[in-house]
Every structure is written in structure tokens, then in C-alpha cells.
Amino acid sequence: QSWTVVPDFTHHAHSASLSAVAVNNRYVVTGSRDETIQIYDMKKKVEHGALLQHNGTITCLEFYGTAHLLSGAEDGLICIWNTKRWECLKSIKAHKGHVTSLSIHPSGKLALSVGTDKTLRTWNLVEGRSAFIKNLKQNAHIIKWSPDGERYVTVITNKVDIYKLDTASITGTITTEKRISSLRFITDSILAIAGDDEIIRFYSCDSQKCLCEFKAHENRIKDIYSFEREGQHIIVTASSDGYIKMWNLDLNKIKDVPSLLCEVDTKARLTCLAVWLEQASETKENSDKAATSSQTNEDEKSSIVRKNKVCWTDKSDKTAKRKRKITPARQKLEVQLQKKKKKRNSSA
């Protein structure tokens, strides 16, 4: 079986390189070094506007279901967005340094974040407050929950620490030769890890042993994505060599090298990757199984942000008064104004 890749649409979204991308069943959002988040409506194939809340490079973006988006940036803020009206419900000063990575628990009630202040922070998303702070020996640059929410992993340079949720203690460590650039849970207990080389490796979270490794690209791998379609586990990889490749992984033969389904040379220096699945009803994202419940269920579980919670509609929060969504033309003007402001500040 082989697949073909056909270009759909290309858009010059930002005035600087892209640093983060996220998808839900309708939207694609991109974050950039130009400090903005751009929104694309994939069903209509149109640009939907921009979000201007952060000062600094957008470092991480993650949707929860259909209703909420979390963003993190170099300004140390985590912002929680309502995706119906694209308003910022809450802006949290999460880290003293940059926010480097965040991950939402499948229940939507907790989130984890890591930053350049050598801390791992747990957030109570129902009440909008910090729940726990753990000091790390070094700065972690990736954090991720497993699909079942029973464990989470942090990445510090070339080391993956595996934590159990119920004890918040490290149950195992995976160490690679090169710095780890991307990591993805394939199942609740199997991790796909890519580093600053051309190799993809699959590891068992339980034994921390390498189950399989194979050369996927000619240059360093920047990002991995995975999803399940019609019973197939698909791995998608993006590399600095400009290629995006899709692989079919047989979980029953995990030690066998995945078969290449297709590849495309984008002729670009790729930095991040996400897959938008058109038939949301027929497919399920690997890392989002628990987040595909209906909006009714989300509301019943008080999953992320309840509008009747005082903490999410705090009128004293000055940053919440800034306008959230603007037209593309206005966005370009805003970017120019920001650049002028920076020049004035630097000359002063």
C-alpha cells in the first residue's frame, strides 16, 4: 500500500519562522517568533485571524477538545483561550523564565508545564491556579502526558524521565546519544523518540528498552506526529532535510521497521508538524483519545474552564482587557507597531 501527498494550500502566515503548531477537528493554529498566533479554519480553508497576547516567541500550543486552546511563550505566560469566540479566558504567569512545553491531562482538569526556571508545574485548570511545583536539576524542554493520563514524561537534553501520576515519582529513565527534539506516545506504554540525528527509536516505558530503531531521514528529525486510521497506526516525521514522511507501524510487529507509505520534499527547513484529520468521526488522534468526548461531556466534567468560575473572568486582570482577535490587515499593522516600539526601546 502506498499513499500520495498532494499540496492543498500554502500561506505566508508569519513575519518570522514558525515555532509551534496545533490542530483540533476544525482549526489549525500556528505560533511564531513574531509573537503572534495565527488561526486557520480548515473546513473553509481560510485565515481566521490572529491572537496577540504574548510578548516573545510562542513556544507551545495545545488544544483540549473543541472548546479550548492553551498557549505558552517566552514571556513566561500560559494563556487559556475559548475557541468559540477566540477570547483569552485567563493569562497565567506560569514561569519566571520561558515556558518551554506544556501538556493537558486527558481529563482536562490538569496541565503540566516546564520552563527555563528549572521547574515542573502542575496546574489545576478547573480553578485556574497552581497546584504543585517541582524543582528540576536542569531545564526541561518537553513534557507530555500518556494517552491514558496514568504517566507523564519530561525531556532534559538527551534524557527522558518517566513519572507515574499517582506517586509523581520517576519510574524509569531513557537516555539517548543525541539531544531529543521530539517525542510522541504511540500507545500508553510505547514512546517514539527523535533526536538531533536521522534515527527514530521506539521505547517501552515499562522496561525503558529500545524496541526498534530505523533511519528515517538524511538530516535531523524536528518533529513526530502519530494517529490511528482504519486500524492502522500512522507515524509522520518532519526533518530539517525538508522531507515529510508517513510510515505504517504494525504494533504486533513492533520490532520490525515501519513501512514507508509516502514522502514529500517541501523544499523548506521544517521546524514543527501537525496533522489535521478531515473525517474526525472516523479517526482518532493518538494523544487525544480522551479529549474527543462531546462538548456536553466536557461541560459535565467541568473539564477546563467554567465561565461561572470567578478566576476565569477576573476583571482586574489588565491583560485580559486587550483585544484578542484581529483581522489579517490589522495584524500586520500590529507587528509593524511592535517592531517600532522595540526600536524605540533599544535606542532609548
For residue 335, the model assigns a pLDDT of 54
Contacts 24+ apart (CB under 8 A), 168-173: 168/132, 168/134, 172/205, 172/206, 172/207, 172/208, 173/208
- Domains delineated in the chain: 18-219 (2.130.10.10)
Angle among Cα 314, 315, 321 to the nearest 5 degrees reads 110
For residue 293, the model assigns a pLDDT of 35
For residue 343, the model assigns a pLDDT of 55
For residue 338, the model assigns a pLDDT of 61
For residue 11, the model assigns a pLDDT of 82
For residue 336, the model assigns a pLDDT of 56
Q: Other CB atoms closer than 10 Å to residue 215's CB: what's the count?
A: 10
Whole-prediction pTM value? 0.80
DSSP 308: T
Here the cell at position 226 is 502519530
Residues of the chain falling short of pLDDT 50: 280-330
